Structure 1
Amino acid sequence: MSVEIKHYAAEQLPQIRQHLLDIHVEVRHHDFGLTGPFYDVERFDERLASYASRPGWAAAVGFENGEPVGFCFGVPLGPDTRWWSSMTTPLPEGYTEEDGKRTVALNEIVVRKPWRGRGVAWQIHEAWLSERTEERVTLLVNPAAGAGAVQAVYEAWGYRKAGEQQPFPDSPVFASMTRPVRQG
């Protein structure tokens, strides 16, 4: 299955913000039953605004017949990033050194239920990465999501677990994963 994918920069966020919020609520709350302050739409919108305020933020949104079916977005890690500061696992020397060009963080990837299991998430993910110039991409995944199935999908996409972190006091402990932006 193929969907139409459109790319957006931070200045275009107002065009897609409501789509992102609506999909977040549909998937996180209704499909997965994730509740609590960390998953509230207001908190998601705050994180979205924070990410989009950083240089290099970009999103990819998938559409079928004009209907948004999923999205992903992320931002490069700059020299002042706190991305690696909440690691609970020691990382090799130099692993966390960032300059805004080395690593892009995939902050969110969400696909609506009718489009899951059809390769749409992979398509949106790869379309987003096709526009990136960084060396590697990192993401956080709740190892309990889908009884481990979500992490297994990322592993099938080439991601490898680097360690664990808890970026917010009320967030789950996430597996921190990375892979090269371009896989050869």
Structure 2
Amino acid sequence: MTIELRHHTDLTVQARRDLLAVYADVRAPLLHLANYGVEAFVHRLDQHLGELGFELVLGYDAEVPVGYAYGTTVDATDRYWTRMAEPLPDGFTNSSVLAIREIGVRTAWRGTGTARLIHDELLAHRPEGRATLMVNPLAGDGKVQALYGTWGYRAFNSQPPSADSPRLTAMVRSR
């Protein structure tokens, strides 16, 4: 299996269609929940598209979109930091960070290294020295957070990103 990786800093109609198809498939068991519905995702995506440093990596297996990861740059003034449950250590936000906003891989490609491949490609050419992401600590009975731990992330805080979202664990790693 060879996964082709495509970068986007803006979304063409086709890239948007492919991203939404993968998202709906990945989140199918949760789409009935307000925070995970396609409309809520589109709202977040449209906000993120206008933010500094937006970048999306879509993975394809023989033209079938199979996974994605996207992120934006957050600096010291970004509201990303103000929503944390606990105060941040002095100097924590002194340099910009890549906030990975979403990662998703279709079921048939899970456990194949596809998520890590897409993730690593997103980080490969970024100027930020660190990356951060949020994870539901209950996702996959904790397996998703544990997986991110094997990728070098460590938990450092938590936040409820929205009223409809569960409290998420904030994780960070050096690039």
TM-score normalised to structure 1 length: 0.90
Shift of 1:15: 3.2
**Partners of 1:48 and 1:66 in 2: how far apart?**
23
**Partners of 2:79 and 2:126 in 1: how far apart?**
21
> Which residue pairs with 2:20 in the alignment?
21
**Partners of 1:34 and 1:151 in 2: how far apart?**
21
**Partners of 1:145 and 1:48 in 2: how far apart?**
21
SS of the residue corresponding to residue 59 of structure 1 reads strand
Amino acid at match of 2:128: E
Shift of 1:96: 3.0
> Which residue pairs with 1:58 in the alignment?
55
Q: Deviations over 1:30-68 (max 9, x none)?
A: 4xx353211110110010010011121000011111111
User: How many pairs were matched up?
Assistant: 175
> Which residue pairs with 1:124 in the alignment?
118
> Which residue pairs with 1:160 in the alignment?
154
Which segment drifts farther, 54-63 or 21-30? 21-30
Shift of 1:13: 4.3
Amino acid at match of 1:175: T
> Which residue pairs with 1:80 in the alignment?
77
Q: Deviations over 1:87-114 (max 9, x none)?
A: 112321121345xxx2010000000000
Amino acid at match of 2:132: T
Give 2:138's match in structure 1, choosing from 139, 144, 147: 144
Q: 1:121 to 1:60 in 2, by over 3 A?
A: same
TM-score normalised to structure 2 length: 0.94
1:114 aligns with 2:113: no
Alignment RMSD, CA only? 1.4
**Partners of 2:173 and 2:31 in 1: how far apart?**
27
- Between the two proteins, what is the percent identity of the paired residues? 39
Shift of 1:80: 3.0
> Which residue pairs with 1:171 in the alignment?
165
1:5 aligns with 2:5: yes
SS of the residue corresponding to residue 125 of structure 1 reads helix
Give 1:68's match in structure 2, choosing from 65, 90, 103: 65
Q: 1:34 to 1:41 in 2, by over 3 A?
A: closer
Moved over 4 A (4+): none
